[in-house]
Structure 1
Amino acid sequence: MGGAIIAYLPLLVNLTNKEIIIIGGGKVAERRLRQLLEYKQSITVVSPTLTDTMKEIVTINNIKWTNEPFKKEDVENADLIIAATNNEGINDEIIKQAPKKAWINAAHHGEKGTVYFPITLQRGRLQIAISTGGASPLLAKRIKKQIDLQFPDDYETYIDFLFEAREIIKKLDMDKKEKHRLLKDIVQNPIYDKKAQKTFIKSLKKQM
C-alpha cells in the first residue's frame, strides 16, 4: 500500500560560504528566497522574470539576479540548488546539469531532489521542523499550529536565558554531577520571568 518511503535525515546546516542558486521567479521561488534569507544573505537568483514582490526582495537585500534563462554554467559551483521554475522540463534539466556535490530542492517534484524544506517553527535559538514525508502538508501545518500554542513568542527570552546560564555553569568550579543538576533544574522548573532570570544569572556569576 502506497509508494516506497524515502528516508530523509533531519539536519541543521551551516550555510556560511555555501553557494546558493534559486532558479525561477514565481511564487515558489519567492517563498524559498524568503526562507533562505533568514539564514543566508549571499544568494543568486536566475530567471528572466520575477514576481513584483520577489523583485522588491531582491532589490532591498542586494541579491544577485541573473536576468536570463537557465544555463548549465549557472550551477557549476553551486552547493544548494533550488529548481523552482514553472516548467517541469526546465526543472528536470537543472537537476540533470547539477554538480554531484550539490544538494537539490526540486519544487515541482520533491522526490527528484535530495533536500526539501519542512515546515518550521522558530523561537530564537529554538528550531522545530515538521514533516509528514509528503503525506500531508496540511497536517504538518495543523501540527505547527498546535506546537505554536505551546511555545509563545516570548519563549525566545527563556531559550536565551538557558543558553547564558549553561555557558556560565560550564565554567563553574564544581563537579559534573552538580552542573548537570543545575542545568536539569532550570529545565524542569522553568524560569520565565525576566527579573527572576537576571537574579539567577547574578547568583551564578557570584560563584565564578
Structure 2
Amino acid sequence: MSETPIPKPDLQTGAYGWLHRHWQGSYYPDDLPEDWQLGYYSNDFNTVLVPAADLVASLAGEQVLPIEDWPDEVHENFRFYIECNAVLLETVGAAALIEHLGALQQQLAALVVGNAGDAGAQAASLQRLGDALSVPLYAGDSASDIFLLNSELKDLRQVRAQIEPFLQQLENRPQAEAPAAIFVRHPKLQAADLGRFRAMLEVMGY
C-alpha cells in the first residue's frame, strides 16, 4: 500500500509593495488611477508586503488611498504583511500604528522585520506592537516563515535554488499563526515575472 503524500504547507506569494512606477503601462493600464492599483493587484495576487516607507507616506497623507480604505479595495482572502523598522516606529509611534493597522482587521496577517539591526534594537517595542494587534512578528529570512527574495525572477532555475532551503524548512515547521509567504523585492521586478514565479511554485505543489 502506497503512503498518502504529505500535503505541502500553505505558501503565499506577493510583491514588496504594489506601488511601482515601472508597472504603470507594463502591468497597470496607463489610465488606471493610483487609488485603483491595489484592487487591480489583488485580482492577480493574494498578498503584499507593505514597505515601511509606503506606510509612513500613507499615514502622512502623501498617497491617494488611505490605509482605512485598503480592505475595501481587496477580496476577503487578501492578506497584508507590514514591514516594520526603527524609522516607522520613531516616525509614526506605536500608539498610532496600533490604531491605523487595526483598520485592516482580519486581513492583517503579520508584521515583518527585514533588518536584523531593527529586530535587535526594537525587539521589545515590535513584540508589544504585534501583541496589541494580535498578529505574529516574523524576521524576513530563510529561517522564518517569511522569505524576502531579492530577485528580478528572470532565471527561475536559479531562483528555485535560492528558495530551496526555505521550502525545505517549511516542511518540518509546526502550524504557524499565519501562512508562510515569499515576497519578492527588486527595483526592476515585473508583475508578469512574479506571476510566472507563482506558477512555478504551484507546479511544485505549493
TM-score (norm 2): 0.31
Q: Normalising by the residue count of structure 1, what TM-score does the alignment of the two structures yield?
A: 0.31
Q: Which of the pair has more CA radius of gyration?
A: 1
